[in-house]
């Protein structure tokens, strides 16, 4: 899949002075491929939006060349240090790469059009938040310093899994996988601890409702925000952890985010962010915003709250939704 990383070009698996790359397209996975004059490629589809997966509204597009990538296989213009002062880096996963939509419908393309900047879209399918940090670090370390960095943080449970059990850094790591512990006993204990912590503030039936609402997330998210006006509200804060993620998962993201912010501040880069993962957005609302403030809107933006349509794979965001994300970032800049 061309939107996934090629680890032989990414630090720390490769410490040569070069930019990272995504995997090159293949006819088996990506249909017809043709070269562009700039050294990149155009191809028909990614594995998740194969013709048989397309919705009726998109069926007529099955023979189009939907994706244009540069010589590093990113859905971006060619990387040139001469563009440093007028380039915008956009980081994220497949929602940033733009699975299932045309080049001009991706939110990085639309945002750069609004800003009048050069589009360095570094989104990659399956990306984790650690990968976002490492990719930005590799670009900046190689002297590619953009004017802006916009991030849509990915799912917090994604991790890099090694193919080799006893190696610290595997020479052949597996892609970022959606790993969840499935530890039902630990999860039930977490629910019990929350109930004990809140028993003086809520009746038992209210706690049960809160648990289900917080777990569902998508329906509860916009309804819960009023609780967060008070940073000391124990109910909203405790509810964030009613999931299968541990404190360490959230602290890991906290560190990854600090790394991205530090890179931007050290290089005078404007930084804005939003979230694909609703639980991660709620964690930030409850734990980071009260102490650090927030640069992008009043609350951590969950991109799902802006959704109006689907891409042609019926899973990723469609053009209207991606326009909303671009407009949100632009209006908060």
CA separation for the pair 149, 89 (Å, rounded): 5
Give yes or no for residue 169 having a pLDDT over 70: no
Give yes or no for residue 184 having a pLDDT over 60: no
CB neighbour list of residue 5: distance below 8 Å, 6 or more residues apart? 20, 21, 22, 23, 124, 127, 131, 175
The string of pLDDT tens digits covering residues 70-127 is: 999 999 999 999 999 999 999 999 999 999 999 999 999 999 999 999 999 999 998 8
Least confident of 137-146, 178-187, 237-246, 322-331: 178-187
Torsion of CA 288, 290, 291, 297, to 10 degrees: 70
Specify the pLDDT at position 186. 46
CB neighbour list of residue 23: distance below 8 Å, 6 or more residues apart? 1, 2, 3, 4, 5, 6, 73
The string of pLDDT tens digits covering residues 19-45 is: 999 999 999 889 999 999 989 999 999
Give yes or no for residue 190 having a pLDDT over 70: no
Specify the pLDDT at position 22. 94
Rounded to an integer, what is the distance from CA 95 to the centroid of its chain? Answer: 7
Which pair of structure tokens corresponds to residue 251? Answer: 């602290």
Residue percentage of the chain with pLDDT more than 90: 51
Cα distance between the two ends of the chain: 33
Q: How far is CA 189 from CA 71, 196, 215, 244, 306, in A?
A: 50, 11, 15, 11, 34
Q: What's the pLDDT band for 333 if we cut at 50, 70, 90?
A: low
Query: Where does the chain have alpha helices with state H?
Result: 27-30, 94-97, 107-115, 129-141, 184-198, 204-216, 221-224, 234-239, 247-266, 278-283, 289-292, 319-331
CB neighbour list of residue 189: distance below 8 Å, 6 or more residues apart? none
Give the best-scoring range by mean pLDDT among 20-24, 157-161, 288-292. 20-24
Q: What's the pLDDT band for 222 if we cut at 50, 70, 90?
A: very low
CA separation for the pair 210, 229 (Å, rounded): 18
Specify the pLDDT at position 182. 42
The mean of the pLDDT values for the chain is 79
């Amino acid at each position: 899949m061309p939107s996934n990383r090629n680890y032989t070009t990414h630090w720390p698996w490769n410490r040569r002075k070069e930019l990272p790359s995504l995997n090159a397209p293949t006819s088996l996975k990506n249909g017809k491929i043709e070269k562009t004059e700039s050294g990149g490629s155009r191809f028909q589809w990614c594995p998740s939006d194969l013709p048989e997966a397309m919705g009726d509204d998109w069926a007529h597009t099955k023979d189009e060349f939907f994706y244009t990538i540069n010589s590093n296989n990113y859905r971006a213009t060619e990387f040139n240090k001469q563009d440093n002062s007028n380039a915008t880096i956009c980081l994220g996963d497949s929602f940033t790469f733009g699975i299932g939509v045309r080049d001009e419908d991706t939110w990085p393309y639309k945002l750069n059009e609004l800003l009048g900047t050069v589009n360095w879209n570094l989104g990659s399918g399956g990306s984790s938040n650690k990968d976002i940090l490492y990719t930005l670090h590799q670009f900046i370390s190689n002297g590619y310093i953009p004017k802006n960095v916009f991030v849509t943080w990915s799912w917090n449970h994604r991790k890099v899994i090694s193919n080799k059990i006893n190696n610290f850094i595997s020479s052949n790591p597996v892609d970022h996988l959606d790993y969840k512990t499935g530890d039902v006993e630990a999860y039930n204990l977490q629910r019990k601890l929350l109930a004990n912590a809140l028993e003086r503030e809520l009746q038992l039936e209210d706690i049960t409702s809160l648990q289900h609402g917080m777990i569902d997330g998508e329906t509860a998210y916009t309804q819960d925000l009023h609780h967060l006006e008070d940073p000391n509200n124990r109910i909203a804060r405790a509810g964030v952890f009613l999931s299968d993620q541990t404190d360490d998962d959230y602290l890991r993201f906290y560190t990854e985010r600090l790394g991205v912010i530090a890179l931007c501040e050290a290089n005078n880069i404007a930084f804005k962010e939003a979230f694909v993962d609703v639980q991660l957005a709620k964690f930030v609302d409850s734990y980071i915003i009260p102490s650090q403030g927030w640069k992008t809107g009043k609350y951590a933006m969950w991109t799902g709250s802006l959704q109006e349509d689907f891409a042609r794979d019926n899973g990723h965001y469609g053009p209207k939704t991606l326009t909303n994300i671009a407009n949100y970032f632009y209006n908060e800049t």
